[in-house]
Amino acid sequence: MERILSGIRPTGKMHLGNYFGAAINWVKLQDEYECYFPIVDWHALTTRYEDVSTLSQDVWDLILDLLSIGIDPERSALFIQSFSPDHAELHILLSMITPISWLERNPTLKDMTRNIDVREGMNYGLLGYPVLMAADILVYKATVVPVGADQIPHLELAREIARRFNYLYGEVFPEPAAKLTEGAVFPGIDGRKMSKSYNNYIGVTEDPESIKEKVMATVTDPQKIRLKDKGHPEVCNIFTFHKFFTSEIDIVEKECRNGDRGCVACKNQLYNNLINYFSPIREKRNYLQANLELVKDIVRNGQDKARKVSSATIAEVREHMGMSYGFRNT
């Protein structure tokens, strides 16, 4: 079975955009691959180093959500990146062989630095985060990495670093292949892309009353003002939501276009379907929340499973770089 790795940045509780855009794919990958899912808290620090007040809570919220949606600790290693020193050691070693020019050509660097204070400039961690990402992948010798189209350049850099290491010191790392994932782009309640930055999201395990308020506030077809007005589902966010939660989508569309369905009734149907869809996930999360020691054991076990692989890789790397110094497995 091929080994796959997907690092997940902790940003707090999961919303519908996270779930349908990526998380649901991670659950499916468990059927085909040996999966490693690190919570990449070091990566989070590259852009939020000034305020870490919620970092711990964000990490645990993400872990609880991942376990609740179906990440299976019997089939996957779920763990925290910063608890594995092997990631940091390989990051240091790979940074020695990675030219600055490779990092500066990162096509997403400009977007990521847009809001950085020009007086301070870019921090070292942000410039070098692709090397840390490469270390995350290569320390487990992952052969497959699920990525969106916008992340292909990052993975290609990891492949280049692996290639350069193998050329300099001998064959150690496989060149990881991209597994393109077609995650759904989920709209926010205001019509923009769903994002916590826009405060337009609906949480997967959010309180039902809060979800109802957000559903009722969601933007619909601006031309459908009265109940009997004919609607245009293609411009309605509620209809987009229905595609994910409502089986009789053809009926919803027909009634909307014919003016036989009002927006309030449409929103109420969506709300009920959404609550029913996520009810088992919400129940599981409540159980896990009430049994945090069990969750900690799951993370410890995932950490142990991951460390067995990563420590073997580091020992091999040291051997090839002439840094074992006569010791074994150090």
Contact by Cβ (8 Å): 150, 185: no
- The SS3 of residue 199 is coil
Taking the complete model, does pTM exceed 0.85, yes or no? Answer: yes
Task: Give per-residue pLDDT as tens, 226-249.
Answer: 888 999 999 999 999 999 999 999
Q: Which residue has the higher pLDDT, 115 or 213?
A: 213
* Three-state SS annotation for 78-96: EEEHHHCHHHHHHHHHHHC
Sign of torsion over alpha carbons 61, 62, 63, 68: positive
State phi, psi for 246 to the nearest 5 degrees: -125, 120
Domain ranges of the chain: 3-186+292-320, 208-287
Which range (4-13, 18-27, 41-50, 176-185) has the least confidence? 176-185
Query: Residues 208-237: what's their mean pLDDT?
Result: 93
Domain spanning 3-186+292-320, CATH architecture: 3-Layer(aba) Sandwich (3.40)
CA distance 66 to 69: 5
State phi, psi for 44 to the nearest 5 degrees: -60, -35
CA distance 52 to 194: 23
Please calculate the CA angle 194-43-175 and round it to the nearest 5 degrees.
100
**Banded model confidence at residue 143, pLDDT cuts 50, 70, 90:** very high
Contact by Cβ (8 Å): 170, 143: no
**Banded model confidence at residue 116, pLDDT cuts 50, 70, 90:** low
CA distance 10 to 4: 19
CA distance 321 to 170: 9
Output the pLDDT for position 139. Answer: 98
Residue 118 predicted with pLDDT over 60: no
CA distance 138 to 131: 10
Residue 111 predicted with pLDDT over 80: no
Query: Residues 284-288: what's their mean pLDDT?
Result: 97
CA distance 165 to 96: 10
Average pLDDT, the chain: 93
Domain spanning 208-287, CATH architecture: Orthogonal Bundle (1.10)
